[in-house]
């Protein structure tokens, strides 16, 4: 695995290897590359993995701080089937759904599972459309792409 200039690094208390394998099973073009024990650091392990071709590094070593919403991983989805697939897979085994397309997986990592055109709908020049989309989005837990598109278009069918 080639380390990029910037690579996300996730620190788990003991489940970095399990988490990396869990994520690699969910996303295409994903795999665990290497697990390295750190001999002078007790049970510490460093896990190198790739999700959707993006390199990550994780470490198991008695996490001093829990994960929180300050950092999340956003998954861009082309359609409702893809959005549903990732949403359901990441919740498996004890995750919890949250508002506005957010969820926490069973390891406590925050994810945003979003339609690929959500930002475009909210960033367009028509503020009435953007407001309708934002108002609709704020009422959702898991995103409903069809409902967001209806809000954007201003139709009721």
Shared fold status for 1-63 and 66-157: yes
Domain 1-63 classified CATH 3.40.50.720? no
Cα torsion 104, 109, 110, 115 to 10°: value is -90
User: pLDDT by residue (tens digit) across 23-58?
Assistant: 999 999 999 999 999 988 788 999 999 999 999 999
Domain segments of the chain as ranges: 1-63, 66-157
| CATH tag for 66-157 (out of 3.30.530.80, 3.10.180.10, 3.40.1280.10, 3.30.565.10) | 3.10.180.10
Taking residues 127-144, what's their average pLDDT? 96
User: pLDDT by residue (tens digit) across 83-129?
Assistant: 999 999 999 999 999 999 999 999 999 999 999 999 999 998 999 99
Q: Are 130 and 121 in contact (CB under 8 A)?
A: yes
Maximum CA pair distance of the chain?
63
Q: pTM score, two decimals?
A: 0.91
């Amino acid at each position: 695995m080639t380390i990029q200039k910037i690579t996300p690094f996730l620190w788990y208390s003991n489940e970095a290897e399990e988490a990396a394998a869990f994520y690699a099973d969910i996303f295409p073009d994903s795999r665990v590359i290497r697990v390295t024990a750190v001999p002078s650091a007790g049970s510490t392990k460093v896990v190198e993995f790739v999700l959707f071709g993006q390199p990550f590094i994780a470490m198991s070593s008695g996490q001093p701080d829990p994960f929180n919403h300050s950092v999340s991983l956003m998954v861009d989805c082309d359609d409702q089937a893809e959005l549903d697939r990732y949403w359901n897979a990441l919740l498996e085994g004890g995750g919890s759904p949250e508002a506005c397309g957010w969820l926490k997986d069973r390891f406590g990592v925050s994810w945003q599972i979003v339609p690929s055109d959500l930002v475009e709908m909210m960033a367009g020049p028509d503020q009435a459309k953007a407001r309708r989309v934002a108002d609709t989005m704020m009422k959702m837990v898991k995103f409903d792409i069809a409902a967001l598109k209806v809000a954007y278009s201003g139709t009721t069918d």
